[in-house]
Structures are given as C-alpha cells and as structure tokens.
Structure 1
Amino acid sequence: MAGAGRRRARSRASSSRDDDDAKPNLRPPRGRGRNHTSIGIFNVDLRVLLGLSVIAFFAILFLIYNLINPIEQAQTPRVVTPLPAPKLMDLPQFQGEHKESLYWGTYRPNVYLGIRARTPRSLIAGLMWISIKDGRYVMRHVCQDSDELSKYGWEQHDGRNFGHQVIVDQDMNLATSFLKFKGEDSGYGGDWAVRIDVQNHKSKGNEELSSTAHLFFYLADEDGML
C-alpha cells in the first residue's frame, strides 16, 4: 500500500511539472519592455523638440523682419509736399517797418566784425587788423581757432539796433560797437555806425612791436563793382 501511494504521488508531481512546462510563458521579458517604453518617450520628445524649434525659427524670422523693415522705410526717400501757405517773412505783420528795421545788421558770423544788408547782393563792411604772434605780424579777419584769441563775440546785442563786443588778442584789446538809427533824412533801413576802441598793453618781449596797432575797416560790394 505504501509503495502504491508513493507511485501515485510521483505520477502527480510529474504530471504537474509537465502541465507547467506545457503552459506558455505570458510574462514579457523585463529588458524588452523597458526598451520599448524608452523608445516611445524618445520619439515623443523628438516631436516636441522639432515643433518647438520650428516655432522658434519662425519667431526669429518675424523679429528680424520687424527690425529691418523700419530701417528700410527710413532709408526710402519720402516726398515732402510743402504747405500751401505763405512764408513767415511774407506775412503782413512782418512787412513794413518791421522788415525795414532789420535791413542792416551784423549778419556776417564768419568774421570778427561784419555788416551787411538782408539782400542777396549787398554792400558789406568788415574789420581786419594786424596782430603780433611769436614775434611776427599776422592778419586777423576770419574767425579761426588757430588765431588763439583769448576772447571774442558779442557781449550785448538786441539783434536789431545795437551790439557791443570785446576782442582780446595777445596784448591788444579791441572794443567794437555797432549802432543803427533812422532819421528823417535816412534811406531805407536807416543809418548805421561802427566805433572801434583799441588798447594795446606793452609786454617786455615785444615792447617795440606792441607800441602800435594796425586796423583796416573796409567796404566792398558783393557784385564786385567796388
């Protein structure tokens, strides 16, 4: 009886083993499952990155276009249509006595002292003088930095009737005054006058040269008639 029971137990164990071997293994291998999931995530990440890169590319193109377009518009010449209105100087309130009072004036800013009228071709007047620099005589007329004047320019000027300035050139002081007035016998624009005062300070090195001053007040016609 004992032998038969042992045989039955052995036969059951062997049959259960055979049945287990016959059943298919439904569990996927561990390594293959992880690889498939990582590849899927990688594919999704690539799609997202490609989409973001395309959006960023078009955004950069849009910014470049907006930056270049205003520059091209600024370089493009524009047609300027003048306002169909009279000029300021041609208005009635700027005619008559107002215009005549501004006819003569110190309208020559490129020289130290220059007078002219407000016309295209005018009688002009100006001042030139000889100064001493480094023991040599030099001519002063046109405003230049190389002249190295200590001071020049109008200190008082109303733009119409009078002006006063002081010019300091080495040891020479020139005080120029411009005055304009209109009387009964005056012509158009009135009359004007210029006064020039000179003070020459003697220096130890140029005592003989600085004892005299040479001034030239000239008149000329822009048409070349004088």
Structure 2
Amino acid sequence: MTIRVMLVDDQELLRTGFRMVLQSQGDIEIAAEAGDGARALEVLRSTQVDVILMDVRMPRLDGVQATRQICLDEAGVPRPDAPRVLILTTFDLDEYAFAALKAGASGFLLKDVPPTELVAAIRSVHGGEAVVAPTTTRRMIDRFAEVLPTPSRTPGSTVLGPLTEREREVFLLVAQGLSNGEIAARLTLSEATVKTHVGRILAKLGLRDRVQAVVLAYENGLLRAGSAD
C-alpha cells in the first residue's frame, strides 16, 4: 500500500529535502505540499492524504491550529478518518509541539531527523502507532506542566468510567510510559492480552494512540508531572 504524504512547512528548502528522501521510497508518495496551515486545509479539501509532516511556526495559520482542525471535530472529538499528523520541531521540548499533541497529533520529529528515522516514523504512524515514546511525551508534559489546566475532576472519577478495573490498571501503566512487554510483566499477562486491552481502552476513551492517553492522564490529575515510573 502506498502512503500518501503531505509536506507542510514555510521553508521550501526543507520541503525539498524531505521530498528527496521520501520519493526514493517505493511505498511513499508525496501527494501534496503547503507553505502554511491555512493552505494545508485548503489542499486537504480536494486531496486524499494519509500522513502529514507539519511544521508548527508558520504564517497565517500555525501548525497547532491546523492540526486541531484536521484531527478534531468542533466538539473536540478525534476524527477517525483524519490523516495522521507528525509535528516538525526545532527543539525536542518545544511548547508548540506539546500543544499539537494535545490537538491530536500522533507525535513529533526533530527537523534534523535522520532519513531512516523519518521514513520509519511515517510508516509507523500510518500503521496506527505513535512515533513519540510515551516516556518522551511525559518529559514534555513535565516541562510544560504549568500550561495544563487544573483538573476539574476527582482523579479517576469519570474519565475512566467506561473502563473495567483491569483496563484502568493497564491505562495507568500506559500513561506512565510502559511498553506492552513491561505492562505484561507487571500484571502477569501475555503481551497479546495487553495489546487487546490497550486497543479497547483507546476505543472506549476515544483516543487515537498512546500519546493521547498520556496527555489525558495528566490533564485529569491521574498522574502528576514528575511522577515516578
């Protein structure tokens, strides 16, 4: 299956570099390009795209706002058929990248990402995975904890209501950055069983991936910035 990619960045030279790398891959096609978020939204109305490489700091409409409009509906609910968005950042602790994760992005990449990692990230995201390890996301949340709203719910009171007791256990371990293998060892389960639990958790809570699970946990007071593994 060919992965249709859109490049969104106001630096034409950077888009050219990414295009050269990606066009050499047999399973990746550059479907579209845009120089800012507003133009990206216009192009998406008539162009089918699977994965978007999205810069954050752009004129007219920045990458965070564009990502929110692409990934979430007016009620803030993830759009199941939306393209996956990978945020491009200059620094690995960019507050704009963090905001984009909250807006529905599936992860972030540094602009100087090695070509092999860029290609692997696109394939992973297209396959439904998040390219940012949950532990890395936690570091970002720790860094920008002051921008998070004060939790309006008693931890675990309603946000995890749809989950079974076992699913709640798995959710909290996912939010702490544990892999499926680590969760399996912690709970004495098989990795296949953990994978099934994670899939059900994401579906029940309306989350697109593990990154969004980490953000949800912090925003609702289920974990605190700086909490231990």
Query: Normalised by the shorter chain, which TM-score bucket?
Result: under 0.3
Greater percentage in strand: 1
Greater percentage in helix: 2
Bigger RCO (CA 8 Å, 6+ sep): 2
Considering only CA atoms, is the larger Rg found in Structure 1 or Structure 2?
Answer: 1
If the length of structure 1 is used for normalisation, what is the TM-score? 0.21
